[in-house]
A and B are shown apart, each in its own frame.
Chain A
Amino acid sequence: MEKILTRNIHKERSVSIDVYEAGGGYQALRKAVRSLTPDEVTDQVKKSGLRGRGGAGFPCGLKWSFMPKEKKKPHYLLCNADESEPGTFKDRLLMELDPHLVLEGCLASAYAIRADACYVYIRGEFVHAAGVLDRAVAEAYAKGYAGSNVLGSGWSCELVVHRGAGAYICGEETALMTSLEGERGYPRVKPPFPAQRGVWGCPTTINNVETLACVPSILERGPEWFAAIGPNERNSGPKLYCLSGHVKRPGVYEAAMGLPLGELIYDLGGGMLHADRPLKACIPGGSSVPVLAAAECDVALDFDSLVKAGSALGSAGIMVMDSSTCMVKALLRIAHFYAHESCGQCTPCREGTGWLERVLERIEGGSGRLEDIDLLKSVADNIEGNTICALGDAAAWPVQSFVKKFRDEFVAHVQAGKCTVLSHA
Chain B
Amino acid sequence: MFGVEFEKRVDAIVGRYPEPKAALLPVLWELQRANGWISPPCAEWAAARLGVSPAHVHGAVTFYTMYKQRPTGRHHIQVCTTLSCMLRGSDELLEHLRRKLGIHEGQVTADGRFSLQRVECLGSCGTAPMFQLNDDYHENLTLSAVDALLDRLP
Contacts and interface: CB of A to CB of B under 8 A. Distances in A.
B126 A333 contact: no
B84 interface: yes
Interface of B: 16-19, 21-26, 28-29, 50, 52, 59-60, 63-67, 81-84, 86-88, 120-128, 132, 135-137
A103 interface: no
Nearest to B90: A333
Contacts of B124: 89, 92
Interface of A: 74, 83-89, 92, 123-128, 158, 160, 162-168, 179-185, 200, 242-246, 250-252, 283, 287, 317, 319-321, 325, 329-330, 333-334, 337, 340-341, 343
B64 A124 contact: yes
Contacts of A320: 87
A66 B48 CA distance: 38
Contacts, number: 141
Contact of A321 (B19, B63, B87): B87
B51 to A, nearest CB: 10
Contacts of A158: 16
A334 B127 CA distance: 19
A343 B60 CA distance: 12
Given A158-B16, A166-B66, A184 B60 contact: yes
A167 B67 CA distance: 11
Contact of B64 (A160, A165, A334): A165
Contacts of A88: 123, 125
B135 A86 contact: no
Contacts of A85: 121
Contact of A325 (B64, B87, B122, B126): B87
A322 to B, nearest CB: 8
Contacts of B82: 86, 287, 333, 337
Contact of B66 (A84, A125, A343): A125
24 contacts: A86-B120, A87-B83, A88-B123, A89-B123, A89-B124, A89-B126, A92-B123, A124-B66, A162-B25, A163-B25, A163-B29, A165-B28, A166-B67, A181-B22, A182-B24, A184-B63, A200-B18, A245-B84, A246-B88, A283-B83, A320-B87, A333-B81, A333-B82, A333-B86
